[in-house]
Amino acid sequence: MDERSGPWWRGVTGYQWLVFAVASGAWLFDTMDQRLFSLARIPALGDLMALPPSHVEVQAFAKIVTALFLVGWGLGGLIIGPLGDRFGRVRLLAISILLYSLCTGITAFCRTPAEFAALRFVTGLGIGGVFGLAVAIIVETVDGRARLAMLAGLQLLSTVGNVGSALVKMGVDDLARHDLIAAGSVWRWLFALGALPALIAIVAMIGLREPQSWRDRKAEGRLPKGAFGAYVDLLGNPAERRGLLIGSLLAVAGVVGLWGIGEYAVDLQHAVFTAYYDGRLAPDAAKAAVTDAKNWAYMLQMAGGAVGMLIFTLIADRVGRRPAFLTCFAAAFVVTMFVYARMQTPTDAYWMMPLMGAAQFSLFAGFSIYLPELFGAAARGTGVSFAYNLGRFAAAAGSFGSAWLSTSLFGGFDAPDPLRYSAMTMCVIFLIGLAAAWFAPETRGRPLPA
Protein backbone atom coordinates (compact mmCIF):
# COMPACT_ATOMS: atom_id res chain seq x y z
CA MET A 1 0.00 0.00 0.00
CA ASP A 2 1.27 3.52 -0.81
CA GLU A 3 2.53 5.13 2.36
CA ARG A 4 0.87 8.39 1.26
CA SER A 5 -2.58 6.82 1.59
CA GLY A 6 -2.58 7.27 5.37
CA PRO A 7 -1.42 9.91 7.85
CA TRP A 8 2.33 10.26 8.26
CA TRP A 9 2.17 9.38 11.94
CA ARG A 10 0.74 5.92 11.29
CA GLY A 11 3.24 3.34 12.53
CA VAL A 12 5.39 5.77 14.54
CA THR A 13 6.47 3.97 17.71
CA GLY A 14 6.46 5.33 21.22
CA TYR A 15 10.25 5.40 21.27
CA GLN A 16 10.35 7.38 18.03
CA TRP A 17 7.97 9.92 19.56
CA LEU A 18 10.31 10.16 22.56
CA VAL A 19 13.26 10.81 20.24
CA PHE A 20 11.29 13.56 18.50
CA ALA A 21 10.21 15.08 21.81
CA VAL A 22 13.76 15.24 23.18
CA ALA A 23 15.39 16.43 19.94
CA SER A 24 12.75 19.05 19.17
CA GLY A 25 12.53 20.12 22.82
CA ALA A 26 16.28 20.67 22.87
CA TRP A 27 16.02 22.85 19.75
CA LEU A 28 12.91 24.69 21.01
CA PHE A 29 14.67 25.77 24.20
CA ASP A 30 17.84 26.42 22.21
CA THR A 31 15.98 29.01 20.11
CA MET A 32 14.27 30.35 23.23
CA ASP A 33 17.68 30.95 24.77
CA GLN A 34 18.79 32.79 21.64
CA ARG A 35 15.80 35.10 21.79
CA LEU A 36 16.04 35.70 25.55
CA PHE A 37 19.60 36.86 24.95
CA SER A 38 18.38 39.31 22.29
CA LEU A 39 15.76 40.66 24.69
CA ALA A 40 17.95 40.87 27.79
CA ARG A 41 21.44 41.78 26.54
CA ILE A 42 21.02 45.58 26.52
CA PRO A 43 19.36 45.84 29.98
CA ALA A 44 21.93 43.39 31.37
CA LEU A 45 24.92 45.30 30.06
CA GLY A 46 23.42 48.64 31.09
CA ASP A 47 23.08 47.29 34.64
CA LEU A 48 26.55 45.72 34.70
CA MET A 49 28.22 48.81 33.21
CA ALA A 50 26.17 51.20 35.39
CA LEU A 51 25.16 53.16 32.29
CA PRO A 52 21.82 53.90 30.60
CA PRO A 53 20.87 51.16 28.11
CA SER A 54 20.93 53.75 25.31
CA HIS A 55 24.53 54.79 26.09
CA VAL A 56 26.89 54.36 23.15
CA GLU A 57 29.31 52.22 25.20
CA VAL A 58 26.52 49.81 26.13
CA GLN A 59 25.37 49.55 22.52
CA ALA A 60 28.93 49.02 21.28
CA PHE A 61 29.74 46.33 23.84
CA ALA A 62 26.43 44.61 23.08
CA LYS A 63 27.57 44.18 19.46
CA ILE A 64 30.82 42.63 20.67
CA VAL A 65 28.97 40.23 22.96
CA THR A 66 26.59 39.30 20.14
CA ALA A 67 29.52 38.59 17.85
CA LEU A 68 31.19 36.45 20.55
CA PHE A 69 27.93 34.57 21.04
CA LEU A 70 27.66 33.87 17.30
CA VAL A 71 31.31 32.82 17.05
CA GLY A 72 30.86 30.46 20.01
CA TRP A 73 27.74 29.13 18.33
CA GLY A 74 29.65 28.47 15.13
CA LEU A 75 32.61 26.86 16.91
CA GLY A 76 30.25 24.66 18.91
CA GLY A 77 28.80 23.23 15.73
CA LEU A 78 32.21 22.66 14.17
CA ILE A 79 33.58 20.93 17.28
CA ILE A 80 30.63 19.04 18.75
CA GLY A 81 29.34 17.62 15.44
CA PRO A 82 32.40 15.40 14.80
CA LEU A 83 32.61 14.48 18.49
CA GLY A 84 29.04 13.19 18.24
CA ASP A 85 29.87 11.13 15.16
CA ARG A 86 32.82 9.59 17.00
CA PHE A 87 31.64 9.21 20.61
CA GLY A 88 27.85 9.10 20.32
CA ARG A 89 25.25 11.61 19.20
CA VAL A 90 22.89 11.16 22.15
CA ARG A 91 25.77 11.60 24.60
CA LEU A 92 27.00 14.79 22.94
CA LEU A 93 23.46 16.14 22.55
CA ALA A 94 22.94 15.79 26.31
CA ILE A 95 26.29 17.52 26.98
CA SER A 96 25.36 20.35 24.58
CA ILE A 97 22.02 20.90 26.31
CA LEU A 98 23.66 20.93 29.72
CA LEU A 99 26.30 23.37 28.52
CA TYR A 100 23.91 25.97 27.12
CA SER A 101 21.29 25.64 29.86
CA LEU A 102 23.67 25.75 32.84
CA CYS A 103 25.74 28.60 31.40
CA THR A 104 22.54 30.55 30.73
CA GLY A 105 21.47 30.01 34.35
CA ILE A 106 24.89 31.06 35.66
CA THR A 107 24.66 34.24 33.57
CA ALA A 108 21.98 35.42 36.01
CA PHE A 109 24.68 35.74 38.69
CA CYS A 110 27.44 37.46 36.71
CA ARG A 111 28.83 40.72 38.08
CA THR A 112 30.91 42.23 35.28
CA PRO A 113 30.51 42.78 31.51
CA ALA A 114 33.54 40.51 30.93
CA GLU A 115 31.87 37.65 32.80
CA PHE A 116 28.69 38.22 30.81
CA ALA A 117 30.59 38.08 27.51
CA ALA A 118 32.54 34.96 28.48
CA LEU A 119 29.41 33.11 29.59
CA ARG A 120 27.58 33.98 26.37
CA PHE A 121 30.52 32.66 24.34
CA VAL A 122 30.47 29.33 26.22
CA THR A 123 26.67 29.22 25.97
CA GLY A 124 27.07 29.61 22.22
CA LEU A 125 29.31 26.54 22.13
CA GLY A 126 26.50 24.44 23.59
CA ILE A 127 23.82 25.97 21.40
CA GLY A 128 25.89 25.31 18.29
CA GLY A 129 26.08 21.60 19.02
CA VAL A 130 22.35 20.94 19.25
CA PHE A 131 20.96 21.27 15.73
CA GLY A 132 23.22 18.88 13.83
CA LEU A 133 23.02 16.19 16.50
CA ALA A 134 19.24 16.49 16.96
CA VAL A 135 18.64 16.24 13.21
CA ALA A 136 21.02 13.28 12.80
CA ILE A 137 19.34 11.36 15.64
CA ILE A 138 15.88 11.82 14.12
CA VAL A 139 17.08 10.90 10.62
CA GLU A 140 18.61 7.65 11.85
CA THR A 141 15.63 6.71 14.02
CA VAL A 142 12.62 7.53 11.82
CA ASP A 143 11.91 6.65 8.16
CA GLY A 144 9.75 7.88 5.27
CA ARG A 145 7.19 10.65 5.53
CA ALA A 146 7.34 10.55 9.32
CA ARG A 147 11.01 11.52 9.12
CA LEU A 148 10.29 14.51 6.87
CA ALA A 149 7.38 15.60 9.06
CA MET A 150 9.41 15.35 12.27
CA LEU A 151 12.37 17.22 10.79
CA ALA A 152 10.03 20.00 9.67
CA GLY A 153 8.29 19.88 13.05
CA LEU A 154 11.60 20.29 14.87
CA GLN A 155 12.28 23.50 12.97
CA LEU A 156 8.66 24.63 13.25
CA LEU A 157 8.93 24.45 17.02
CA SER A 158 11.74 27.01 16.86
CA THR A 159 9.04 29.63 16.28
CA VAL A 160 7.32 28.37 19.43
CA GLY A 161 10.60 28.93 21.27
CA ASN A 162 10.82 32.47 19.91
CA VAL A 163 7.24 33.29 20.88
CA GLY A 164 7.73 31.56 24.23
CA SER A 165 10.68 33.80 25.02
CA ALA A 166 8.57 36.89 24.30
CA LEU A 167 5.80 35.60 26.57
CA VAL A 168 8.32 34.83 29.33
CA LYS A 169 9.70 38.36 29.00
CA MET A 170 6.20 39.83 29.23
CA GLY A 171 5.44 37.69 32.30
CA VAL A 172 8.63 38.70 34.13
CA ASP A 173 8.05 42.35 33.21
CA ASP A 174 4.57 42.06 34.72
CA LEU A 175 6.05 40.72 37.97
CA ALA A 176 8.33 43.76 38.07
CA ARG A 177 5.43 46.15 37.43
CA HIS A 178 3.62 44.66 40.44
CA ASP A 179 6.80 45.00 42.57
CA LEU A 180 7.06 41.24 43.04
CA ILE A 181 10.64 41.38 41.77
CA ALA A 182 13.02 44.32 41.41
CA ALA A 183 12.77 46.08 38.05
CA GLY A 184 16.53 46.02 37.66
CA SER A 185 16.65 42.24 38.13
CA VAL A 186 14.35 41.33 35.21
CA TRP A 187 17.26 40.31 33.01
CA ARG A 188 18.67 38.09 35.77
CA TRP A 189 15.34 36.26 36.12
CA LEU A 190 15.20 35.72 32.37
CA PHE A 191 18.62 34.07 32.32
CA ALA A 192 17.85 32.04 35.46
CA LEU A 193 14.79 30.55 33.74
CA GLY A 194 17.08 29.59 30.86
CA ALA A 195 18.55 26.81 33.04
CA LEU A 196 15.35 24.72 32.87
CA PRO A 197 16.30 22.80 29.66
CA ALA A 198 18.85 20.89 31.74
CA LEU A 199 15.89 18.60 32.53
CA ILE A 200 15.77 17.59 28.85
CA ALA A 201 19.41 16.54 29.04
CA ILE A 202 18.56 14.22 31.93
CA VAL A 203 15.71 12.67 29.90
CA ALA A 204 18.09 12.21 26.95
CA MET A 205 20.69 10.45 29.08
CA ILE A 206 18.13 8.14 30.72
CA GLY A 207 15.62 7.51 27.95
CA LEU A 208 17.50 7.58 24.62
CA ARG A 209 19.96 5.16 23.10
CA GLU A 210 22.34 5.71 20.25
CA PRO A 211 20.81 5.05 16.79
CA GLN A 212 21.20 1.45 15.61
CA SER A 213 23.30 2.51 12.61
CA TRP A 214 25.82 4.20 14.92
CA ARG A 215 25.96 1.12 17.18
CA ASP A 216 26.50 -1.11 14.14
CA ARG A 217 29.40 1.04 12.94
CA LYS A 218 30.92 0.97 16.40
CA ALA A 219 30.66 -2.84 16.59
CA GLU A 220 32.29 -3.13 13.16
CA GLY A 221 35.06 -0.65 13.95
CA ARG A 222 33.86 1.82 11.30
CA LEU A 223 33.51 4.94 13.45
CA PRO A 224 35.62 7.97 12.47
CA LYS A 225 39.21 7.69 13.65
CA GLY A 226 39.99 10.22 16.35
CA ALA A 227 37.95 13.07 17.74
CA PHE A 228 37.82 14.94 14.42
CA GLY A 229 38.19 12.00 12.05
CA ALA A 230 34.70 12.68 10.70
CA TYR A 231 36.16 15.63 8.78
CA VAL A 232 38.61 13.29 7.07
CA ASP A 233 35.75 10.97 6.06
CA LEU A 234 33.64 13.90 4.92
CA LEU A 235 36.27 15.67 2.85
CA GLY A 236 37.61 12.42 1.40
CA ASN A 237 34.33 11.72 -0.40
CA PRO A 238 33.80 13.83 -3.57
CA ALA A 239 29.99 13.65 -3.38
CA GLU A 240 30.00 14.73 0.25
CA ARG A 241 32.48 17.54 -0.45
CA ARG A 242 30.06 18.88 -3.04
CA GLY A 243 27.18 18.45 -0.61
CA LEU A 244 29.15 20.31 2.05
CA LEU A 245 29.77 23.23 -0.32
CA ILE A 246 26.15 23.45 -1.49
CA GLY A 247 24.73 22.96 2.00
CA SER A 248 27.05 25.58 3.47
CA LEU A 249 26.15 28.18 0.84
CA LEU A 250 22.44 27.56 1.39
CA ALA A 251 22.78 27.83 5.16
CA VAL A 252 25.04 30.89 5.06
CA ALA A 253 22.51 32.72 2.88
CA GLY A 254 19.59 31.77 5.14
CA VAL A 255 21.31 32.47 8.45
CA VAL A 256 22.78 35.81 7.36
CA GLY A 257 19.39 36.71 5.92
CA LEU A 258 17.73 36.12 9.29
CA TRP A 259 20.40 37.40 11.69
CA GLY A 260 22.04 40.04 9.51
CA ILE A 261 18.85 41.41 7.93
CA GLY A 262 15.70 40.09 9.60
CA GLU A 263 16.81 40.91 13.16
CA TYR A 264 17.19 44.57 12.23
CA ALA A 265 13.50 44.79 11.40
CA VAL A 266 13.00 45.53 15.11
CA ASP A 267 15.22 48.62 14.80
CA LEU A 268 13.30 49.77 11.73
CA GLN A 269 10.01 49.21 13.52
CA HIS A 270 11.19 51.24 16.50
CA ALA A 271 12.10 54.19 14.28
CA VAL A 272 8.93 53.98 12.16
CA PHE A 273 6.54 53.42 15.08
CA THR A 274 8.12 56.19 17.16
CA ALA A 275 7.76 58.67 14.31
CA TYR A 276 4.16 57.53 13.76
CA TYR A 277 2.98 57.82 17.38
CA ASP A 278 4.98 60.88 18.49
CA GLY A 279 2.67 63.25 16.69
CA ARG A 280 -0.48 61.47 17.79
CA LEU A 281 -0.05 60.57 21.48
CA ALA A 282 1.43 61.96 24.68
CA PRO A 283 5.05 60.86 25.31
CA ASP A 284 4.29 58.08 27.83
CA ALA A 285 1.37 56.78 25.77
CA ALA A 286 3.46 56.92 22.60
CA LYS A 287 6.24 54.88 24.23
CA ALA A 288 3.75 52.24 25.37
CA ALA A 289 2.11 52.15 21.94
CA VAL A 290 5.50 51.61 20.26
CA THR A 291 6.26 48.70 22.60
CA ASP A 292 2.86 47.10 22.00
CA ALA A 293 3.15 47.50 18.23
CA LYS A 294 6.61 45.89 18.20
CA ASN A 295 5.31 42.96 20.27
CA TRP A 296 2.39 42.40 17.89
CA ALA A 297 4.63 42.68 14.84
CA TYR A 298 6.99 40.09 16.32
CA MET A 299 4.20 37.63 17.16
CA LEU A 300 2.78 37.99 13.65
CA GLN A 301 6.25 37.50 12.17
CA MET A 302 6.62 34.21 14.07
CA ALA A 303 3.16 33.08 12.95
CA GLY A 304 4.17 33.83 9.38
CA GLY A 305 7.41 31.92 9.94
CA ALA A 306 5.48 28.83 10.99
CA VAL A 307 3.32 29.03 7.87
CA GLY A 308 6.41 29.48 5.70
CA MET A 309 7.99 26.33 7.13
CA LEU A 310 4.84 24.36 6.38
CA ILE A 311 4.81 25.69 2.81
CA PHE A 312 8.46 24.69 2.28
CA THR A 313 7.74 21.21 3.64
CA LEU A 314 4.76 20.80 1.33
CA ILE A 315 6.75 21.84 -1.76
CA ALA A 316 9.72 19.67 -0.73
CA ASP A 317 7.47 16.65 -0.21
CA ARG A 318 5.33 17.01 -3.35
CA VAL A 319 7.73 18.60 -5.87
CA GLY A 320 11.29 18.44 -4.54
CA ARG A 321 13.85 20.00 -2.26
CA ARG A 322 15.52 22.03 -4.99
CA PRO A 323 12.29 23.71 -6.22
CA ALA A 324 11.41 24.50 -2.61
CA PHE A 325 14.72 26.29 -2.04
CA LEU A 326 14.49 28.15 -5.35
CA THR A 327 10.97 29.33 -4.53
CA CYS A 328 11.73 30.39 -0.97
CA PHE A 329 15.03 32.16 -1.66
CA ALA A 330 13.34 34.14 -4.43
CA ALA A 331 10.48 34.98 -2.07
CA ALA A 332 12.90 36.01 0.70
CA PHE A 333 14.71 38.42 -1.64
CA VAL A 334 11.57 40.04 -3.06
CA VAL A 335 9.56 40.22 0.17
CA THR A 336 12.42 41.48 2.36
CA MET A 337 13.30 44.19 -0.15
CA PHE A 338 9.65 45.24 -0.29
CA VAL A 339 9.19 45.33 3.49
CA TYR A 340 12.26 47.46 4.16
CA ALA A 341 11.40 49.81 1.30
CA ARG A 342 7.71 50.32 2.13
CA MET A 343 7.05 49.91 5.87
CA GLN A 344 5.70 53.25 7.13
CA THR A 345 3.13 52.53 9.85
CA PRO A 346 2.26 49.88 12.47
CA THR A 347 -0.56 48.71 10.19
CA ASP A 348 2.00 48.09 7.44
CA ALA A 349 4.06 45.98 9.85
CA TYR A 350 1.06 43.87 10.87
CA TRP A 351 0.70 42.44 7.36
CA MET A 352 4.27 42.83 6.10
CA MET A 353 6.08 41.09 8.97
CA PRO A 354 4.13 37.81 8.58
CA LEU A 355 5.11 37.78 4.91
CA MET A 356 8.76 38.41 5.71
CA GLY A 357 8.67 35.81 8.47
CA ALA A 358 7.18 33.24 6.11
CA ALA A 359 9.79 33.91 3.43
CA GLN A 360 12.84 33.93 5.70
CA PHE A 361 11.91 31.15 8.13
CA SER A 362 10.72 28.81 5.37
CA LEU A 363 14.38 28.22 4.49
CA PHE A 364 15.10 26.82 7.94
CA ALA A 365 12.67 23.97 7.45
CA GLY A 366 14.74 23.21 4.36
CA PHE A 367 17.94 23.02 6.37
CA SER A 368 16.56 20.40 8.74
CA ILE A 369 15.04 18.36 5.89
CA TYR A 370 17.74 18.68 3.23
CA LEU A 371 21.12 18.91 4.95
CA PRO A 372 21.09 15.39 6.48
CA GLU A 373 20.20 13.97 3.04
CA LEU A 374 23.53 15.21 1.67
CA PHE A 375 25.81 13.18 3.95
CA GLY A 376 26.52 9.55 4.74
CA ALA A 377 25.84 8.07 8.14
CA ALA A 378 29.46 8.11 9.33
CA ALA A 379 29.82 11.91 9.20
CA ARG A 380 26.20 13.08 9.04
CA GLY A 381 26.33 14.98 12.31
CA THR A 382 29.55 16.69 11.23
CA GLY A 383 28.23 17.63 7.79
CA VAL A 384 24.96 19.07 9.08
CA SER A 385 26.64 20.92 11.96
CA PHE A 386 29.37 22.36 9.74
CA ALA A 387 27.04 23.54 6.99
CA TYR A 388 24.42 24.98 9.35
CA ASN A 389 26.78 26.65 11.81
CA LEU A 390 29.22 28.08 9.28
CA GLY A 391 26.52 30.69 8.74
CA ARG A 392 27.04 31.94 12.30
CA PHE A 393 30.48 33.28 11.44
CA ALA A 394 29.04 34.95 8.37
CA ALA A 395 26.17 36.32 10.48
CA ALA A 396 28.64 37.80 12.96
CA ALA A 397 30.41 39.52 10.07
CA GLY A 398 27.02 40.49 8.67
CA SER A 399 26.11 42.26 11.91
CA PHE A 400 29.20 44.43 11.67
CA GLY A 401 28.67 44.88 7.92
CA SER A 402 25.11 46.04 8.46
CA ALA A 403 26.26 48.43 11.18
CA TRP A 404 28.91 49.88 8.83
CA LEU A 405 26.40 50.30 6.01
CA SER A 406 23.89 52.10 8.23
CA THR A 407 26.41 54.36 9.99
CA SER A 408 29.00 55.05 7.27
CA LEU A 409 27.74 54.41 3.75
CA PHE A 410 24.15 55.51 4.40
CA GLY A 411 24.78 57.51 7.58
CA GLY A 412 24.03 60.82 5.91
CA PHE A 413 20.37 59.97 5.33
CA ASP A 414 17.58 60.84 7.73
CA ALA A 415 16.43 58.07 10.09
CA PRO A 416 15.16 55.45 9.47
CA ASP A 417 16.55 55.50 5.91
CA PRO A 418 20.02 54.12 6.82
CA LEU A 419 18.36 51.01 8.27
CA ARG A 420 16.27 50.58 5.15
CA TYR A 421 19.11 51.00 2.69
CA SER A 422 21.61 48.82 4.57
CA ALA A 423 19.09 45.97 4.89
CA MET A 424 18.11 46.24 1.23
CA THR A 425 21.78 46.17 0.20
CA MET A 426 22.39 43.03 2.26
CA CYS A 427 19.49 41.26 0.54
CA VAL A 428 22.03 40.27 -2.11
CA ILE A 429 22.81 37.33 0.21
CA PHE A 430 19.51 35.72 -0.82
CA LEU A 431 20.69 35.75 -4.44
CA ILE A 432 23.74 33.72 -3.37
CA GLY A 433 21.37 31.18 -1.83
CA LEU A 434 19.31 31.18 -5.01
CA ALA A 435 22.41 30.41 -7.08
CA ALA A 436 23.44 27.62 -4.70
CA ALA A 437 19.94 26.11 -4.89
CA TRP A 438 20.16 26.06 -8.69
CA PHE A 439 23.15 23.70 -8.49
CA ALA A 440 21.86 21.69 -5.51
CA PRO A 441 21.35 17.94 -6.09
CA GLU A 442 17.76 16.75 -5.77
CA THR A 443 17.30 14.20 -2.96
CA ARG A 444 13.53 13.70 -2.96
CA GLY A 445 12.64 10.03 -3.20
CA ARG A 446 16.24 8.87 -2.91
CA PRO A 447 17.56 6.71 -0.05
CA LEU A 448 19.82 8.34 2.51
CA PRO A 449 23.53 8.01 1.68
CA ALA A 450 24.97 4.99 3.48
Residue 378 clears pLDDT 80, i.e. is over it:
yes
In tens, the pLDDT along 261-318 reads 877 787 788 888 988 998 889 988 888 898 889 889 989 999 999 999 999 999 999 9
Instruction: Express as a percent the part of the chain with pLDDT over 90.
Output: 64
Domain with CATH 1.20.1250.20 in the chain: 11-223, 232-440
Sequence-distant (≥ 6) Cβ neighbours of residue 130 within 8 angstroms = 26, 27, 30, 93, 96, 97, 100
- 364 compared with 67, residue with greater pLDDT: 364
Helix axes 56-87, 380-404, angle to 10 degrees: 170
Q: Does domain 232-440 have CATH number 2.60.40.10?
A: no
Task: Give pLDDT, residue 60.
Answer: 77
Task: Give pLDDT, residue 11.
Answer: 87
In tens, the pLDDT along 74-123 reads 899 999 999 999 999 999 999 999 999 999 999 999 999 999 999 999 99
Q: What is the pTM of this model?
A: 0.88
Instruction: Express as a percent the part of the chain with pLDDT over 70.
Output: 95
Residue pair 113/119 in contact by the 8 Å Cβ criterion: no
In tens, the pLDDT along 217-255 reads 999 998 998 888 999 989 999 999 999 999 999 999 999
Residue 416 clears pLDDT 70, i.e. is over it:
no
Q: Which CATH class is domain 11-223?
A: mainly alpha
In tens, the pLDDT along 158-216 reads 899 989 998 998 899 889 888 899 988 999 999 999 999 999 999 999 999 999 999 99
Residue pair 221/405 in contact by the 8 Å Cβ criterion: no
